[in-house]
Structure 1
Amino acid sequence: MATLFSSQPGDEGLPGDKRARVMAAVMTTTLMGVFDGAMINIALPSMASAMQVSASHAVWFANGYLLAAAMTLAIFAALATRFGFRPLFLSGLALFTLTSLGCALASSAGMLTAMRILQGIGGAATMSIAPAILRSVFPGRLLGRILGLHALLIASSTAVAPVLGGAIVDTLGWQWLFAINILPGSIAFLLASKALPRSDTGAHASFDTPGAILSAALLGSMIMAANSLATPMDAAHAIRIETIGWALLATLSAGMFIFHIRRASNPLLPPVIFKSSRFTLAALTSLSSFISQGITFIALPFLFQSVYGFSPVLSALLFTPWPIGIVLIAPHAGRWADTVSAPLISTAGLLIFVLGLLLLATLPDAPALWDICLRSLVCGIGFGCFQSPNNREMLSSVAREYASFASGVLSIVRTFGQCLGAAVVGVLLALLANETRQLAVHVALWIAVGTSATAVLLSLSRLRKPA
């Protein structure tokens, strides 16, 4: 850890002491954002009861945050190049922290939903540029290590959040899921305000308003289409008007967005970053792997509870080997990526990840607990070995002036990968409602194997690309 804050002649970025403060602020903010998005699902029944609303209404306490964040990720990545990292990060962090207090004090479902939407906007402002901030303050020789720690934090907190969220709801009440953000959010704001440098930006350039509108429409309609697919439906009417409408809007918005950015003088998302095959392949690899992770994280609780009959607490505990595997390997993988080929390490990690998913998909009807834990551990080791080198490849394959755009794409593919993975499980549970729950879950796990195998093929193809 001390190596991260040591300085050598020729190092770009910030001095070691300021690096430490920026890292603490970014990591704390990332931790709050990931936990906030992952913990709330387990509290939805309690929140619906407290607010006296239906379960379908309560779902928007979670979806409002996700939708607002997804619709604004690309916008904030572009705004960072216009106004700089400092004002955007501080504004987003302040909004996230204040709306956390608003969520905790909400006295009605409408107020809570509104606070969650604003909280999602604040979260998007910080998470969309967090990797780019780390790249700007750390020298290139340490990029893999710091991104390894960042990836470790995201992956492990995503897996641990449901356990912690359940404990908080049971002991303190759902309001504390939001109230716990206030103190760390305030500390992170103070650290960032003192350590984040002011930068010379392109504030004179015009902002791409049409691109921002099209981006929000595209990302928002994709989320809504996925959500509509994941809601219960009759198998005979699987394709509904609602889903078709959102899908058509997403397709139309995508076409208009691509047409626009190719002709705009200062586009929201510069097409030039996708001219790098290294960047494009890394982004597609990341998308495929997060679809697999999203499928697995949703399918396994149904397998553990509905098929094996485990309690919710035991089911949550069976997830812990996954983050343990990430903790064991991710920092080392990031360090290796600074000296060895990042795509090579990522590909090796994906192969281990596919093996772990195969092991989970072939679990016996009555497995021992240690057997489940061992198979989950393999998944965690594989994903931890893959993620940080792949993130390094994405950020290092574009010029520094495009770092915020690359960071935004990184956040977008992670968000949509997990969302599409959840939608796949929802569709299967709905379509196979008349079959056994075990069949739906196992089909989902085999789809996860397939998407992760696709990620392997994408990753292998970039090994032939020049560094």
Structure 2
Amino acid sequence: MIAQDGLPTRERLRALVVIVLGIVMAVLDGTIVNLALPDITRALNASAAQSIWVINAYQIATLALLLPLATLGDIVGYRRVYLVGMAVFAVGSVACSMAESLPMLALARVLQGIGAAGLMSVNAALVRLIYPARMLGRGIAINSMVVATASVAGPSLAAGILSVGSWPWLFAINVPLALLSLWLGRKALPVNHAKAAGARFSPLDVVLNGLMFGLVFLGIDGLGARGDAGAGSSTATPLWLALSELVAGLVVGVVYVRRQLSEPVPLFPLDLLRIPVFALSMGTSVGAFCAQTLAFVGLPFLLLGSYGMSHLTAGLLLTAWPLSIVVMAPLVGRLIGRYPGGLLGGIGLGLLSLGLVALALLPAQPSNADIVWRMVVCGLGFALFQSPNNHIIITSAPPHRSGGASGMLGTARLTGQTLGAVLLAIIFSFLAPNGGQGPLFALWLAAGFAAVAGLCSALRIRNS
């Protein structure tokens, strides 16, 4: 029997296991394939440019369906959306491991992305049901810790799997974990009794949502790929095509948002964005994840190219950032509720900005200690921002709109990460990545994004 305010301890732990398994699989599969792309390209007789669709297919499917499935969770129940998403993810993983051509693998990755969207769209909403209100901050901190760890663990896990097996095992390993999650989740996950009255699931709005996010993603990705490969590269997306995709996505977006204005429970949650603290939290999240991506993708070029470090040394130094998040998360969970989330987020993003500036000002021949303490400052600052920010996003929405808030949480993270990756590609098209100038500029820009995000966070103190 479900308690009115969260689950009893034993049931809560079982539900948490299901949630953690889902997060790990969904987040890992967004990055774990990167290292295997050369092997996949050779095995399936594809070009390097074509192999990028193994990544894009997953990301577009996930981003396009996060909000529709979040709203569907508000209508039919988060537990049902989560379990169906897990089943689809398992089927997609089997299909990926058995793919014999690149088109087959890309389609299977779309199926995986649909399943991942089902998991990620209602994840935070389920956490809100699992934990009592007084412990919700701790639950969100655990969630944030797992997301942060899984985001950076992909390449290391992929390297371990590829050292003993071929690339299909990257997908096959998901199947037993997904089946375990399904078996546990049928009994462990709670049911949300508060449903969104007046909500409707319009297929046309789902298509418009997918087209908006898909076309904008392809347009921005195409512009970024041009910058990364150079304008003269034969694999670069034609400028006219990238711009056409971007403009088409924006036009579709205008039509889509206008349709949503008249909906009592819009699929694109305009009702939530009208809440000032929610809107500020979205801006905070996009800016912070953009800063993190700019730094975390640019730093390897600095460590390897400018400082001549080995891959092993650079990898170990970079882990200081996520390890700091893991260590800090439990403490941050206890601070939530005691201090304003806007204040905690503002301090955290201020620390992140200072840490990024310190990394940009590294001496010509830094010691490992010089780098580690700066990474630790960045990690501590990001941890201090992430959980309080997620807590505000979830709790500022009415209970029957927890799904919409949960979907926006994931959408903001993916939007910030995509923006950061594209900006870095553009920077590297003008400033050499291996000469130090490109990565250093990226760090300064990341510090600026973190500072602006910190300002958005501080503004929430007045609006909360």
Give the TM-score, by structure 2 length.
Answer: 0.93
Report the CA distance between 1:286 and its aligned residue. Answer: 0.6
Report the CA distance between 1:197 and its aligned residue. Answer: 3.4
- List aligned pairs for 1:452-463, cutoff 5 A: 452-463=450-461
Q: Point out the more displaced range, 265-274 or 387-396.
A: 265-274
- List aligned pairs for 1:41-440, cutoff 5 A: 41-200=34-193, 201=195, 205-231=199-225, 232-234=229-231, 240-432=239-431, 437-440=435-438
Report the CA distance between 1:219 and its aligned residue. Answer: 1.0
Deviations 1:349-386 (A, max 9, x none): 11111111111222233322222222111111110111
Q: Point out the more displaced range, 121-130 or 196-205.
A: 196-205
Deviations 1:408-455 (A, max 9, x none): 00000001111111111111112335x864212211111111111110
Report the CA distance between 1:20 and its aligned residue. Answer: 1.4
What SS does structure 2 have at the residue aligned with 1:24?
Answer: helix
Report the CA distance between 1:204 and its aligned residue. Answer: 8.1
CA contact (8 A) 1:145 1:338 kept: no
Report the CA distance between 1:305 and its aligned residue. Answer: 2.3
Distance 1:154 1:242 in 2: 34
Q: Pick closer, same or farther for the CA change 1:58–1:376 going to 2, 3 Å.
A: same
What SS does structure 2 have at the residue aligned with 1:317?
Answer: helix
What SS does structure 2 have at the residue aligned with 1:37?
Answer: coil
Distance 1:362 1:99 in 2: 45
What SS does structure 1 have at the residue aligned with 2:362?
Answer: coil
CA contact (8 A) 2:222 2:242 kept: yes
Report the CA distance between 1:401 and its aligned residue. Answer: 0.6
CA contact (8 A) 2:301 2:434 kept: no
CA contact (8 A) 1:91 1:122 kept: yes
CA contact (8 A) 2:257 2:268 kept: no
Distance 1:12 1:436 in 2: 54
Distance 2:425 2:199 in 1: 44
Q: Point out the more displaced range, 75-84 or 158-167.
A: 158-167
Report the CA distance between 1:308 and its aligned residue. Answer: 2.5
Deviations 1:225-257 (A, max 9, x none): 221022123289999212211221122122222
CA contact (8 A) 1:208 1:266 kept: no
Deviations 1:2-44 (A, max 9, x none): xxxxx9xx86132222221111101111011111112211221
Q: Pick closer, same or farther for the CA change 1:455–1:239 going to 2, 3 Å.
A: farther
Distance 2:374 2:269 in 1: 41
Q: Pick closer, same or farther for the CA change 1:463–1:204 going to 2, 3 Å.
A: closer
What SS does structure 2 have at the residue aligned with 1:18?
Answer: helix
2:31 to 7, 20, 38: 38
Report the CA distance between 1:166 and its aligned residue. Answer: 2.0
Distance 1:337 1:204 in 2: 33
Report the CA distance between 1:167 and its aligned residue. Answer: 2.5
Q: Which residue of 2 aligns with 1:442?
A: 440
Deviations 1:389-419 (A, max 9, x none): 1100111111101110000000000011111
CA contact (8 A) 1:235 1:432 kept: no
CA contact (8 A) 1:93 1:122 kept: yes
Letter in 2 for 1:103: C
Distance 1:89 1:324 in 2: 29
What SS does structure 2 have at the residue aligned with 1:39?
Answer: coil
Letter in 1 for 2:31: A
Report the CA distance between 1:313 and its aligned residue. Answer: 3.1
Report the CA distance between 1:277 and its aligned residue. Answer: 0.9
What SS does structure 1 have at the residue aligned with 2:31?
Answer: helix
CA contact (8 A) 1:103 1:175 kept: yes
Report the CA distance between 1:202 and its aligned residue. Answer: 5.4
Distance 1:412 1:384 in 2: 19
CA contact (8 A) 2:222 2:237 kept: no
Distance 1:161 1:143 in 2: 28
CA contact (8 A) 2:329 2:383 kept: yes
CA contact (8 A) 2:85 2:116 kept: yes
Distance 1:238 1:113 in 2: 19
Distance 2:371 2:210 in 1: 40
Identity fraction in percent:
33
**Structure 1 unpaired stretches of 5+:** 1-6
Report the CA distance between 1:270 and its aligned residue. Answer: 3.8
Deviations 1:74-118 (A, max 9, x none): 111111112111221111001112221221222221211111111
Distance 2:220 2:159 in 1: 26
Letter in 1 for 2:298: A
Give the TM-score, by structure 1 length.
Answer: 0.93
What SS does structure 1 have at the residue aligned with 2:436?
Answer: helix
Q: CA RMSD in A?
A: 2.1
